[in-house]
Amino acid sequence: MIETVTALLLFLNGNMIEHVYKPDLSSCLKSKRIASRELNPERVIFSCKIIKAKVELDDQAKYGKRIIKVLDE
Protein backbone atom coordinates (compact mmCIF):
# COMPACT_ATOMS: atom_id res chain seq x y z
CA MET A 1 0.00 0.00 0.00
CA ILE A 2 1.11 3.55 -0.67
CA GLU A 3 1.12 5.95 2.29
CA THR A 4 2.50 9.28 3.42
CA VAL A 5 4.81 8.43 6.33
CA THR A 6 7.60 9.87 8.45
CA ALA A 7 10.99 8.35 7.67
CA LEU A 8 14.58 8.61 8.81
CA LEU A 9 16.71 8.80 5.67
CA LEU A 10 20.44 8.15 5.44
CA PHE A 11 22.40 9.83 2.65
CA LEU A 12 25.99 9.00 1.66
CA ASN A 13 27.69 11.14 -1.01
CA GLY A 14 24.31 12.63 -1.93
CA ASN A 15 22.63 9.26 -2.54
CA MET A 16 19.96 7.82 -0.26
CA ILE A 17 21.21 4.45 0.94
CA GLU A 18 18.75 3.62 3.72
CA HIS A 19 15.25 4.50 4.90
CA VAL A 20 13.52 3.57 8.14
CA TYR A 21 9.84 3.99 9.04
CA LYS A 22 9.11 6.11 12.13
CA PRO A 23 5.63 6.58 13.63
CA ASP A 24 6.01 10.35 14.13
CA LEU A 25 8.44 13.23 13.76
CA SER A 26 9.42 13.19 17.43
CA SER A 27 10.69 9.60 17.35
CA CYS A 28 12.45 10.29 14.05
CA LEU A 29 14.34 13.27 15.49
CA LYS A 30 15.30 11.23 18.56
CA SER A 31 16.73 8.46 16.36
CA LYS A 32 18.52 11.05 14.23
CA ARG A 33 20.23 12.57 17.30
CA ILE A 34 21.39 9.15 18.50
CA ALA A 35 22.68 8.08 15.07
CA SER A 36 24.46 11.40 14.48
CA ARG A 37 26.39 10.99 17.74
CA GLU A 38 27.52 7.47 16.89
CA LEU A 39 28.59 7.99 13.27
CA ASN A 40 30.88 10.50 11.59
CA PRO A 41 28.50 13.32 10.53
CA GLU A 42 30.95 14.50 7.86
CA ARG A 43 30.49 11.36 5.76
CA VAL A 44 26.77 10.69 6.16
CA ILE A 45 23.71 12.89 6.49
CA PHE A 46 20.61 11.87 8.43
CA SER A 47 17.31 13.52 7.58
CA CYS A 48 13.76 13.22 8.91
CA LYS A 49 11.17 13.75 6.21
CA ILE A 50 7.53 13.12 5.52
CA ILE A 51 7.56 11.08 2.32
CA LYS A 52 5.26 9.11 0.06
CA ALA A 53 6.33 5.49 0.12
CA LYS A 54 5.27 1.95 -0.59
CA VAL A 55 4.77 0.39 2.85
CA GLU A 56 4.00 -3.14 4.02
CA LEU A 57 2.84 -4.45 7.37
CA ASP A 58 5.59 -6.39 9.14
CA ASP A 59 5.20 -8.12 12.50
CA GLN A 60 8.99 -8.27 12.88
CA ALA A 61 9.45 -4.49 12.59
CA LYS A 62 9.45 -2.37 15.74
CA TYR A 63 6.46 -0.23 14.69
CA GLY A 64 4.68 -2.85 12.59
CA LYS A 65 5.43 -1.25 9.21
CA ARG A 66 8.34 -1.36 6.81
CA ILE A 67 9.16 1.01 3.93
CA ILE A 68 9.68 -0.99 0.77
CA LYS A 69 10.29 1.85 -1.69
CA VAL A 70 10.45 5.63 -1.42
CA LEU A 71 8.25 7.13 -4.14
CA ASP A 72 8.67 10.83 -3.42
CA GLU A 73 11.21 12.58 -1.18
Confidence of residue 39 (pLDDT cuts 50, 70, 90): confident
SS3 14: coil
Mean pLDDT of the chain: 91
d(CA 70, CA 63): 18
Global pTM reads: 0.87
Q: Summarize the confidence of residues 29-57 as an average pLDDT.
A: 90
Confidence of residue 14 (pLDDT cuts 50, 70, 90): confident
Q: Summarize the confidence of residues 3-26 as an average pLDDT.
A: 94
